A and B are shown apart, each in its own frame.
Chain A
């Protein structure tokens, strides 16, 4: 027990009584140090200086009487046990003092060394135990109140809450008062019926419950509540330590969901597979629809070397690509496995440290596309060849057609009809000439079509519509005058277009001659031409007041080859076809609006 000698303080003013007490003490505690103060003040002096183990206090001192002496000492040195020395007449006061904390009392006249020794020993022991209890209670309170986890205690009988700590108050939002008026079940979500712990659960009070609670602000939280049984003021109670796991649960749920999603994505990776490889190209994970289709378990490939599934020289190629990916590059390459073609995309998977220990590979089965592509390429090649053959063929036939035709034309040019006197022969010759010229015109028209079609790269230049139109009008002046034509132009908004010069002349000439050809016999011809400018286009409106075209019937055919809508000697059904071809080859567009016997408007859009 004690290491050093017992130190006993006797506060006693009566020398006779002190002598008696000190004799008893020396007898019972021969090694003890005995300090003697004959006043309260002197006694306190020793208490301040010495490490006193027990005090024997007389109640009648010159500077202190009865219970107040005890208070004076006990308030300053509560840890030192006090034994009251009293006379026969003072036992009631002594009993009073026992209630407020003295360890024992001894009636001086009625004592002996054994009684005194027993009282001192018990006093010291009791005081120690008391001190210990007080300390542990304080520690317990400290732990309870300062615990970061919400803690409450509730009665087992009735579940009424008896105690809560600061963390509980802060976490739930209820004040301590509110808590103490509630049962533990009042913390459950209000929308749920109270679930009482079943009798079997009740038997064991040391539980871990995963339940939900509701805060004062109605927020519902997931909690893990650990309870164990304690006694509070003699009543059976449960101490409940509450751990809010809402965030943890949410995070777990999110993790679970994202894992689920990842699995769904990878297992259903369409038309291919995904794989994760480590530095040795070992497949750590792989999944994808490709395996379902081929009826192979994805796991069959796991823990195998990715490159081992390819044969040389593809194997080396794949390996080179993968090495690049481990060096931080992305790789996209085509490869084949068995008789299938795959497009492989591989990306590095960076660790937070920045190093690459794994890579992700996505393979797409492109066998079908490859086959399509090949078929398409073959088809294109074939078509290109055919097209080229046809073009050559058309050049040759055109040439062969034109060669004799040009001879005919040459002969006609050289023929001097003035020398022919027979009128019949002259007429035949004139008809011969006309036929030849007509044939020449048709052949030239057709050749024009052919040349436009093959001349996508016809030179474009900045053209002034005003000048081109002027030239065109001039070239058909006679025809226009014959019809007493009024020409109204408005090129104020725009007159510059990027176009091929020959084509623009041809287009305008076609439109003008069409207007003349298909003018109404009932009224003089009126041609109106105007332009409009938009952000990146110039639009030309070419209107006449002629016969018009029945668009309901002819709309689809108006720009077609050899389409004629009027019974007209000059009409070959080629003009608008050529116009349309020339405009489209230049990236423009032509539209038509028309009303029978009112007139026609052509709308040409030039892209700039």
Chain B
């Protein structure tokens, strides 16, 4: 099981469903959420600014990232994250979860090494079962 997962999505219902499905499938022990890219980045910013080890929470091993979000969308989050934090968290991967049908989004996702999968909404237990078989994740299970 994965220890910790971050879900970034502007849709509250989606976040609730994600959490439920993740728990139901036994995919991760802990789920925490962010409403958009900026909130997501804020979490990492806070994480790296804390010097006191005892105050530090564990970083997520996986980020479920939505693309279409207000304030800061998924791509902008990804660019910033890669620039500022990815190097320091080499074990954290990204899975995109989106309702997009724009082929450009699919091809763009392919260009990021950190993005290991692209799931079309909704996230289901079957989808998570497949994800558990993924080369880069199967060691967790």
A interface residues (Cβ-Cβ under 8 A, vs B): 392, 395, 398-399, 402-407, 409-411, 413-414, 447, 450-451, 454-455
Known contacts A399-B102, A406-B14, A413-B21; can you find 11 more A-B pairs with CB under 8 A? A395-B100, A395-B102, A398-B101, A402-B99, A406-B99, A406-B122, A409-B122, A410-B121, A414-B24, A451-B103, A454-B103
- Is the Cβ of B102 less than 8 Å from the Cβ of A403? no
Give the chain B neighbours of A392 by CB distance below 8 A: 102
Known: A406-B122, A407-B11, A409-B122. A399 touches B100 (CB 8 A): yes
Looking at the assembled complex, report how far the CB atom of A585 sits from the nearest CB atom of chain B, in whole angstroms: 13
- Is the Cβ of B122 less than 8 Å from the Cβ of A410? yes
Give the chain B neighbours of A451 by CB distance below 8 A: 101, 103
- Is the Cβ of A399 less than 8 Å from the Cβ of B68? yes
When C-beta atoms are compared, the residue in chain B nearest to A396 turns out to be B68
Q: Does B61 contact A (CB under 8 A)?
A: no
8 Å CB contact of A414 from B11, B20, B121: B20
When C-beta atoms are compared, the residue in chain A nearest to B67 turns out to be A399
In the A-B complex, list the 6 residue pairs whose CB atoms are closest, starting with the nearest.
Answer: A410-B122, A406-B121, A402-B99, A406-B122, A410-B17, A395-B102
Q: Does B92 contact A (CB under 8 A)?
A: no
Looking at the assembled complex, report how far the CB atom of B86 sits from the nearest CB atom of chain A, in whole angstroms: 26
- Is the Cβ of B17 less than 8 Å from the Cβ of A407? yes
Give the chain A neighbours of B21 by CB distance below 8 A: 410, 413-414
When C-beta atoms are compared, the residue in chain A nearest to B12 turns out to be A407
Known: A410-B122, A410-B124, A414-B20. A403 touches B103 (CB 8 A): no
Q: Can you identify 15 A-B contacts, CB atoms within 8 angstroms?
A: A399-B68, A399-B99, A399-B101, A402-B99, A403-B68, A403-B121, A405-B99, A410-B14, A410-B17, A411-B17, A413-B124, A414-B20, A450-B101, A451-B103, A454-B103
8 Å CB contact of B14 from A403, A447, A450, A455: A403
- Is the Cβ of B123 less than 8 Å from the Cβ of A410? yes
Q: Is the interface of A mostly helix, strand, loop or mixed?
A: helix
Please count how many residues in chain B sit with their CB below 8 Å of the partner chain's CB atoms. Answer: 20
Q: Does B46 contact A (CB under 8 A)?
A: no
When C-beta atoms are compared, the residue in chain B nearest to A394 turns out to be B101
B interface residues (Cβ-Cβ under 8 A, vs A): 11, 13-14, 17, 20-21, 24, 68, 98-103, 120-125
- Is the Cβ of A403 less than 8 Å from the Cβ of B101? no
Looking at the assembled complex, report how far the CB atom of B25 sits from the nearest CB atom of chain A, in whole angstroms: 11
- Is the Cβ of A407 less than 8 Å from the Cβ of B122? yes
- Is the Cβ of A402 less than 8 Å from the Cβ of B121? yes
- Is the Cβ of A455 less than 8 Å from the Cβ of B103? yes
Known: A407-B13, A414-B20. A395 touches B124 (CB 8 A): no
Q: How far is the CA of A395 from the CA of B68 in the complex (A)?
A: 11
Q: How far is the CA of A479 from the CA of B103 in the complex (A)?
A: 33
When C-beta atoms are compared, the residue in chain A nearest to B124 turns out to be A413
- Is the Cβ of B14 less than 8 Å from the Cβ of A407? yes
Give the chain B neighbours of A405 by CB distance below 8 A: 99
Give the chain B neighbours of A406 by CB distance below 8 A: 14, 99, 120-122
Looking at the assembled complex, report how far the CB atom of A125 sits from the nearest CB atom of chain B, in whole angstroms: 125
Give the chain A neighbours of B24 by CB distance below 8 A: 414
- Is the Cβ of A395 less than 8 Å from the Cβ of B101? yes
- Is the Cβ of B121 less than 8 Å from the Cβ of A413? no
Give the chain B neighbours of A413 by CB distance below 8 A: 21, 122, 124-125
Q: How far is the CA of A450 from the CA of B103 in the complex (A)?
A: 11
Q: How far is the CA of A399 from the CA of B98 in the complex (A)?
A: 8
Scoring B14, B99, B100, B123 by chain A CB atoms within 10 A of each residue's CB, the highest score goes to: B99
Give the chain B neighbours of A399 by CB distance below 8 A: 68, 98-102
Looking at the assembled complex, report how far the CB atom of B44 sits from the nearest CB atom of chain A, in whole angstroms: 26
Give the chain B neighbours of A398 by CB distance below 8 A: 99, 101
Q: How far is the CA of A26 from the CA of B68 in the complex (A)?
A: 154
When C-beta atoms are compared, the residue in chain A nearest to B98 turns out to be A399
Looking at the assembled complex, report how far the CB atom of A403 sits from the nearest CB atom of chain B, in whole angstroms: 4
Give the chain A neighbours of B120 by CB distance below 8 A: 406
Looking at the assembled complex, report how far the CB atom of A395 sits from the nearest CB atom of chain B, in whole angstroms: 4
When C-beta atoms are compared, the residue in chain A nearest to B18 turns out to be A410
Looking at the assembled complex, report how far the CB atom of B35 sits from the nearest CB atom of chain A, in whole angstroms: 15
Q: How far is the CA of A455 from the CA of B103 in the complex (A)?
A: 8
Q: How far is the CA of A550 from the CA of B18 in the complex (A)?
A: 50
Looking at the assembled complex, report how far the CB atom of B38 sits from the nearest CB atom of chain A, in whole angstroms: 20
Looking at the assembled complex, report how far the CB atom of B50 sits from the nearest CB atom of chain A, in whole angstroms: 35
Q: How far is the CA of A451 from the CA of B104 in the complex (A)?
A: 11
Q: How far is the CA of A405 from the CA of B99 in the complex (A)?
A: 9
